[in-house]
Structure 1
Amino acid sequence: MKLPAVLIGAALCAASPAAAEFELSAYTGWQTAPHSRISGDYPDDIGGSYDSLIGWDGKSFQMPPYYGIRGTWWRSERLGFGVEFTHTKVYAPDDDLPAGFDGLELTDGLNILTANVMRRWPTEWGAATPYVGAGLGLSIPHVDAEFDGAPDTFGYQVTGPAARVMAGVQYPVTERVSVFGEYQFTYSSNDADLDGGGSLESDVKTNALNVGLSLNF
């Protein structure tokens, strides 16, 4: 599923020749996730329901790594619109899993795709430019759930709405290239189907400290 390619294509289509500036950004960083509950119904071969508090692990630098891509069309010096894809990750520790689970992770991405509104202040801090942003969109995780005595689930699903907020500072390296650092928070409400008739629900939040590179066109 080539979500980053889709993101870049959508962002480039949005930028018309009349745009004052189009900015393409890529980042990685340190991403964590606080505890959240998972609940739902086991697959039919097990039966019953479950409800458990999970202390998620992020493992940002373990393959596949945490990363994000953002396209922003700056309509004026201060206001921009765009799209963003973030490949966040969460792993459930074995000792937090409900009985019957052999494993649970969203690590080929708890993928967050949003439409963003951005605001920046390009003159207040000299060469450095502070910015904030927020977005609404969809959660598209790769659900990897393993069971003892029931079919495993392994695949992408659109599981519900998602949102993000961010705040950071960008610094120019050349006329077209900038580096940036930011804090980013994401929220996703996930309602996934499990193979064999089960379900999985969880509201997942992530916190990340990102560093990245932007190209301006």
Structure 2
Amino acid sequence: MIAATAVGLCGALAPVSAWAELSLSFYGGVQEAAPSDVTLRGDSLLADRDFTSTWEGRSFDLPYYWGARATWWGEGGFGFGLDVNHAKVYADAATLAATGYERLEFSDGLNILTVNAYYRWDGMLGAVTPYVGGGVGLAMPHVELTDGASETFEYQVTGPAATWIAGASLPVTDRIDVFGEYKGTWSQNSAELTTGGTLETDVTTGALNFGLSFSF
């Protein structure tokens, strides 16, 4: 669902490539998340709860942490594009023990889709090109909450999201760059539970990414 949405949006924006350099980037890395407050209300089988969850990223466990983006670069160092970030968060063992849940996670993606703006400093550091970026969009996670009596296990659009990025790229060939960056995301998640009620939490992630960009 996430990939199809991104492809559709890229197609809608394709005409801008006539006047701009198009760059397709793919990245992985190490991602973690800050603890966040969780509120559960109105479920027919689960008691109302307010608690703080400590999250684990588990970037190298299946399904892996990854991201992809399309960026159109214009003159003057400015660019814009689309970013799909398959971030992940899992409630840690202490949180599960305190709540009695068997599983609380957005693990087949705390998927963040954003429209971003960028600025890069071409030639500032020789072959190395620093850049910064940021954007807004939507969170579309795979919501997983089970406790034996109740199970929610589905993709949902849960609320607004934002991202911020700072990094640098280095050319390998005329068309291929390697890059490293810090990427943060914030998402407001209001998920519907299958037995009624909602689970709400705002999640902030941070990641060190490494990847390849292909220019056209």
TM range (shorter): over 0.9
TM-score normalized with structure 1 length: 0.94
* Residue number in structure 2 paired with 1:39: 39
Q: Structure 2, unaligned stretches of length 5 or more?
A: none
SS at match of 1:15: helix
SS at match of 2:61: coil
Code of the residue aligned with 1:68 in structure 2: it is G
Cα distance in 2 between the residues matched to 1:121 and 1:15: 25
Once the two structures are overlaid, the 10-residue window that deviates more, 93-102 or 62-71, is 93-102
Deviation readout 1:104-155 (Å, 9 max, x if unpaired): 1101000000000010001111111100000100000000110232x30000
Code of the residue aligned with 1:104 in structure 2: it is L
Cα distance in 2 between the residues matched to 1:14 and 1:173: 27
* Residue number in structure 1 paired with 2:14: 15
1:42/1:50 contact within 8 Å kept: no
* Residue number in structure 1 paired with 2:5: 6
Aligned residues: 214
1:14/1:73 contact within 8 Å kept: no
Deviation at residue 18 of structure 1 after TM alignment: 2.3
Whether 1:170 and 2:174 are equivalent positions in the alignment is: no
Cα distance in 1 between the residues matched to 2:142 and 2:35: 19
Once the two structures are overlaid, the 10-residue window that deviates more, 12-21 or 80-89, is 12-21
Deviation readout 1:7-66 (Å, 9 max, x if unpaired): 2442254233522300000000000001111112262024x3101111100000100000
* Residue number in structure 2 paired with 1:55: 54
Q: CA RMSD in A?
A: 1.4
Q: Flag the structure with higher helix content.
A: 2
Cα distance in 1 between the residues matched to 2:173 and 2:126: 15
SS at match of 1:101: coil
The percentage of counterpart residues that share the same residue type is 47
Code of the residue aligned with 2:65 in structure 1: it is Y
TM-score normalized with structure 2 length: 0.94
- Spell out the pairing of 1:127-142 with structure 2 (5 A cutoff): 127-142=127-142
| Alignment CA distance shift 1:99-1:42 (3 Å) | farther
